Amino acid sequence: MSVKIEKGRAAGLIDLTPMIDVVFQLLLFFLVASKFADEERELKVVLPQASEARPLVARPKEYFVNVDRAGLYFVGGKTVSLLELDRQLKQVAANNPGRQSVIIRADKRCQWEHVVAVMNSCNKANIKDYRVTTAEGKHAQ
């Protein structure tokens, strides 16, 4: 006795025409959109001048100020006085106006007045983005 196997009709009933139409429409859309983007870049325009615009002189990066237990200030691994710190902060603020950030890393055993002095120096230099860091995780010794 022979066994008759019925093949499914699902594969024969799927019409791929609508899917092909959608893919073709998407292809046309992206081709046209990319053409408009090219035209935007090729358009010759004379840009206006801004009186308060300032060029970016140096690449902005975080400026680290370390305060040790005795209240000494360290920048770039070198000890600096508070007056020298004021001068350096004014210089980095002038290099990156409005974009400079300062990270204050103070020993937990130092007196708070030394940290406040660094914050005050940041304010004098018109640096508004300054932060005091803390240790993450468990208690640091």
Q: Which residues contact 113 (CB under 8 A, 6 or more apart)?
A: 71
131 C-beta neighbours (distance < 10 Å), count: 13
Res. 60: pLDDT tops 70: no
pTM listed for this prediction? 0.56
Mean pLDDT of the 46-64 span: 68
Instruction: Pick 18 or 35 by higher pLDDT.
Output: 18
d(CA 132, CA 126): 17
Report which DSSP code applies to 106.
Answer: E
